[in-house]
Amino acid sequence: MSEILIPIFRADDAAATALWYGRLGFEVVGEHRFEPGFPLYVFLNKDGVELHLSEHKGDAQPGSLAYFWVDDVDAVSHEFGEPIHDQPWGREVKLTDPDGNRLRIAERKAET
């Protein structure tokens, strides 16, 4: 079995936040509640990249940060109306989800 590291982001409304991540191409692949009325836990996937959203207050702190490499940062910039910043390692867009979690989404620079 291969090893995978999966970020968990805190969400006040995991279902609504999952829709925001849908704009990045993530799909909901599962949900869990221990019983009705309990916090929701959502499993997201985009081409094998996994992200979890949790309404459980102890799972993660709002304002967390994750770095995400993509093949087309221009499409992300266009979708969210955010500028692309040139960095020595790549071109990146800075996003913040509805719960204050931060993403740096980048495309690697072509090797010369």
Q: Return the DSSP state at 76.
A: H
- Please state the length of the chain: 112
- Domain ranges in the chain? 8-108
- pLDDT, residue 18, reads 98
The mean pLDDT value of the chain amounts to 94
CA–CA gap between residue 50 and residue 6 (Å, rounded)? 6
Helices in the chain by DSSP H: which ranges?
Answer: 14-22, 73-80
pLDDT at 1 over 70: no
User: Per-residue confidence at 60, pLDDT binned at 50, 70, 90?
Assistant: confident
Q: What is the CATH number of domain 8-108?
A: 3.10.180.10
Q: For the chain, give percent helix, strand, coil, nearest 5.
A: 15, 40, 45
d(CA 23, CA 5): 22
Beta bridge partners of 111: none
